[in-house]
Amino acid sequence: MSRAFSHAIVRAPCRAIARALTTAGLGRPDYLRAQRQHAAYVAALRRCGVDVIVLPPLEDFPDSAFVEDVALLTGRCAILTRPGAPTRRGEVTEMAGTLQDYFPELERIEPPGTVDGGDILEIDARYCVGLTERTNGDGARQAIAVLRRNGLDGETVAVDGALHLKTCVTYLDGGVALAWAALRDHRSLLGLDVIEVPKSEAYAANSLWVNGTVLLPAGHPRTARCVRDAGFPVIELEMSEFRKADGGLSCLSLRFTPPG
């Protein structure tokens, strides 16, 4: 079983989200609609029994609602990342103070390493670190070294055709994962029961398991049905404005249980 989460950190979207980095080609996010969708996301986390810490918006950082990219939080350690997009690195500093309330010691990814949290997939006590345009080999090696010093393990995964590893695969619980067909037989997923996400519903591969329930982007009925058939309750959430900025459900929160 995956460990339960007692806390989540989110950051409210800023008006500048209309200028967020994007490759999606879906237009610019609408701030007011993003606010409503974010509020529904926070409500869903609370329905799952999570204490949600909502941080204020950062107008200097258009992508700052995507807090998952700036840290990796485990039951044994916390790592401040170094995002691959230079314009996002100030978000790490803004998050550090909040994390110190829960993690007395913060590890850091140092130059020339780069790591986006969206490239780190937890499968129980094992971590897969995706090698992408945002996460390089040096950053991945640093992250894995920290994990191993803390009694955890990690491995790298080459990612093609996706912004982040979690764009194309999500670990749910109990040996079940969601994944694009291209990753179904990847060595990191061997031994798991993989639910293949239809190509027409590729965006749904970035879903989120929270304390037994799966948060899933609305508008992906085949994937939702498969997840329910696998025994998971599902909450479907509108994500249109965050999708326009290359974001998914996991991107919007840092989930954790404080050490001890």
Report angle CA 120, 125, 130 to the nearest 5 degrees. Answer: 20
CA distance 18 to 14: 9
Buried b (16+ CB within 10 A) or exposed e, 49-86: ebebeeeebbeebbbbbbbbbbbbbbeebbbbbbbbee
Take residue 19 and report the two structure tokens written for it: 């200028």
Q: Which listed residue (164, 168, 186, 226) is catalytic?
A: 164
Annotation marks residue 164 as catalytic:
yes
254-256: strand order across its sheet: 51-55, 7-11, 254-256
Active-site pick, 48, 77, 128, 251? 251
The β-bridge relationship of strands 176-179 and 169-173 is antiparallel
In the residue annotation, 77 being an active-site residue is answered as no
Alpha-carbon torsion, ordered 54, 57, 62, 64, to 10 deg: -30
Enumerate the active-site residues. Answer: 164, 251
